[in-house]
Every structure is written in structure tokens, then in C-alpha cells.
Amino acid sequence: MAQTPHSPISQEEEDKIKRAFQNKDWNEIKIEDSWVIFRVMSEFVKGFDTLSKIGPCVSIFGSARTKGDNPYYLMAEEIAKKLVKHGYGVITGGGPGIMEAGNKGAFEAGGKSVGLNIELPFEQFNNVYIDKDKLINFDYFFVRKVMFIKYAQGFVVMPGGMGTLDELFEALTLIQTKKIGRFPIVLVGSEYWVGLMQWIKDVMLGKEQNINPEDLDLVNIVDTPAEAVKVIDDFYSKYLLQPNF
């Protein structure tokens, strides 16, 4: 396969690469790493303190680039409204696009609207539909992902990019390895997801046997808001569990 040329990198990116190869003395390492530890701890503490009492919620993942007139934006908004009416709060990444749609639907339906915003040099800013006491800004992706997983009882995944896939496979990995309970995962938009799922089935499972056949059952693919919410409702009805607020 022909290799495409690499895109030119910025001076800032080049400086970061060079710094990784610079020798540092022990004092520099200790001071720098100590401050990172304190910042990470503070983000965990704030996240746990803010989210520990929010009740049952569903995390909605998806692209920050999705516009307000996109069908997937409208679907995410409708899913959030239905989730609220069925007793769930909604957690999103707090930014624009699908995240905004999820928070908007929850907010307008009178439900809990949580935003876990990430500070980025582009794209990301918090939307206006997050409850003021449930907006948290993170600097570290891995801390933010812990909050997505720890405080959600289900995951709705709309079409998105690298970040969305990262969040999807984080949830799948933790469920597959039994680090968390088997919460429902719903992929919305079969046209968008069918290619990925077919590759997982044909190559990851069929050709290489890198997963078990039952791992495919961890994912549900739907095409409508009603189907998405039904998957979550049906899952919990098996255990006679309902949201408690």
C-alpha cells in the first residue's frame, strides 16, 4: 500500500517532540511530576464530589462537529428528551455538536444535564444547556473518561470521530474485562457503524480470533431514538430496576 506523505507539523508540536528527548535532572522531574499528580487528584476529587449524587444517568457520545440541522443532532436531542422522561439524567462531553444536542434535550425536558468539558486548543467550549452545578472542566482526558464510565448506567454512541471511538472502546474494554458491570451500549445510525462492526466480526473475531463471539453481543445498533431508549429500558427491566428519581 502506498504511503501518503506526513502533514507538516507546527513549531509548537515540534518543540513538544524535542522536549521528550531532553535530559532532566531529578529535581526537575520530581517537581514537574508532583504538580501533575496534584492536578490529577484535584480533577478526580471535583468530579467525584460533583457527580456522586446525580442518580442514574446515560452518557451520550458523539462528534463536536455535528451541526444543529444534522439528522444525528436532532436524533441525539430526541434521545436525551426520551431518556429524561424515562427517569434518566444525561451526561455528555459538554461541548458543541452531539454533546450540545444531548444536553439541550435533557435541559428542555427538565432533566439533569451534566457536562464533562475538556479544555482543548480548538473545537471545544461548553454549551449553554448544562446545569450550572453539573459543569466540570477537565484538563486530562483519562480523568474525564473515568467520570463518563463511573457515573453512567448506559452509553448511547452517535456518529463521531477519534474521541468518540476512544470513549466507545473504553466502555467496551471495561465491560469485556469485567472491570465494570455489563451496562447497555447503543450505537445510533446503522449506516455509520455497520462497516466498523463488520470489520470487528470478520477480522478481529473471524480471522484473528482476538475477541470472543459473545463480545459482539455487548453492542446494539439502532436507527431511531425510540429504539435507542428501548434498549436501555429493556435491559434494566430484566432486573426489575428503574431510575430512582
In order of their start, the domains of the chain are: 39-237 (3.40.50.450)
Rounded average pLDDT over 131-150? 94
pLDDT of residue 244: 45
- pLDDT reading at 100 higher than 70: yes
Please answer whether residues 129 and 103 qualify as being in contact, where contact means their C-beta atoms are separated by less than 8 angstroms.
Answer: yes
Return mean pLDDT, the chain. 89
pLDDT of residue 4: 54
166, 167, 172, 177: CA torsion to nearest 10 = 80
Rounded average pLDDT over 55-66? 96
Query: pTM for this structure?
Result: 0.85
Element housing 227 (H / E): helix 225-237
Grid coordinates belonging to 150: 463511573
- pLDDT reading at 64 higher than 70: yes
| Region of poorest pLDDT, from 30-44, 61-75, 102-116, 170-184 | 30-44
| 139-172 as b/e: b if 16+ CB within 10 A | eeeebbbbbbbebbbbbbbbbbeebbeebbebbb
CA end-to-end span of the chain, whole Å? Answer: 55
Taken in order 89, 90, 91, 95, the sign of the CA dihedral is negative
Q: How sure is the predictor about 21, in pLDDT bands with cuts at 50, 70 and 90? A: low
Burial classification of residue 54, based on how many CB atoms lie within 10 Å of its CB (0-12 exposed, 13-18 middle, 19 or more buried): middle
- pLDDT reading at 5 higher than 80: no
Q: How sure is the predictor about 119, in pLDDT bands with cuts at 50, 70 and 90? A: confident
Residues 6+ apart with CB under 8 A from 137: 94, 117, 118, 119, 126
Amino acid found at 245:
F
What is the tens place of the pLDDT at every residue in 163-214? 999 999 999 999 999 999 899 999 999 999 999 999 999 999 999 999 999 9
| Other CB atoms within 10 Å distance of the CB of residue 211 | 15
Quote the CA–CA distance of 56 and 11 in Å, as a whole number: 45
pLDDT of residue 16: 61
